[in-house]
């Protein structure tokens, strides 16, 4: 079996014809810019073993759905920036996510709804900015949210927001 634990910085960035990749269950880390501008990448399954997804790692990819493994604690800046086809974001149950960085889901024009895991304490600046299709924003029960960054949801199409009681 595979012994691969890390996909390093920019490993596949600008591989614009890369349409499919199978990531092994041994993978722990996806570093910065790993799949940046893999514009033909229409599907990716991040193994449940992954605990780190680096900055800009999937920026400008073309998949429609992403499942964030429970062990990921931080979505670094611009992780999914400009993924214009991204419609569905699912956080695995038991998510340990505590931070959504700056610009993480900015310009994800197809994103319609998002449910933020309870452990998230901060949402960075411009993190959901200019997402015209984003209609619903919800936070899991017992949300630990303390900070929503500057222009985090500016220019979105929000029609329904359910903020946690503790904010």
In which element (H, E) is residue 115 found?
A: strand 113-116
Interval 63-67 mean pLDDT: 97
- The pLDDT > 70 percentage for the chain reads 99
Q: What is the pLDDT of residue 166?
A: 63
Q: What is the pLDDT of residues 103-131, one digit of tens each?
A: 999 999 999 999 999 999 999 999 999 99
**Residue 132 to residues 62, 111, 136, 160: CA-CA distances in angstroms?**
17, 8, 11, 13
Q: Which residues touch 137 (CB under 8 Å, ≥6 apart)?
A: 113, 114, 116, 128, 153, 158, 160, 161, 162
Q: Is the pLDDT of residue 86 over 60?
A: yes
Q: Are 81 and 106 in contact (CB under 8 A)?
A: yes
DSSP one-letter code for 64? S
Q: What is the pLDDT of residue 97?
A: 98
pTM: 0.95
DSSP one-letter code for 92? P
Q: What is the pLDDT of residue 124?
A: 98
Q: What is the pLDDT of residue 167?
A: 54
Question: Residue 17: is it exposed, middle or buried by C-beta count within 10 angstroms (0-12/13-18/19+)?
Answer: exposed
CA-closest candidate to residue 27, choices 10, 7, 11:
7
- The residue with tokens 């901060």 is 122
């Amino acid at each position: 079996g595979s012994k691969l634990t890390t996909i390093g910085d920019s490993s596949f960035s600008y591989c614009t014809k890369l349409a499919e990749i199978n990531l092994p269950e041994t993978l722990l880390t996806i570093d910065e810019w790993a799949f940046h501008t893999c514009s033909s990448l229409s599907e990716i399954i991040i193994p449940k073993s992954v605990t780190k997804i680096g900055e800009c790692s999937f920026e400008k990819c073309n998949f429609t759905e992403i499942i964030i493994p429970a062990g990921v604690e931080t979505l670094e800046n611009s992780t999914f920036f400009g993924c214009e086809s991204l419609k569905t974001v699912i956080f695995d149950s038991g998510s340990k996510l505590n931070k959504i960085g700056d610009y993480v889901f900015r310009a994800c024009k197809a994103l319609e709804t998002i449910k933020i895991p309870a452990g998230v304490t901060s949402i960075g600046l411009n993190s959901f900015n200019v997402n015209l299709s984003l209609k619903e924003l919800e936070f899991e029960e017992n949300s630990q949210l303390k900070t929503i960054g500057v222009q985090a949801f500016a220019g979105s199409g929000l029609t329904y927001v359910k903020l946690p009681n503790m904010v």
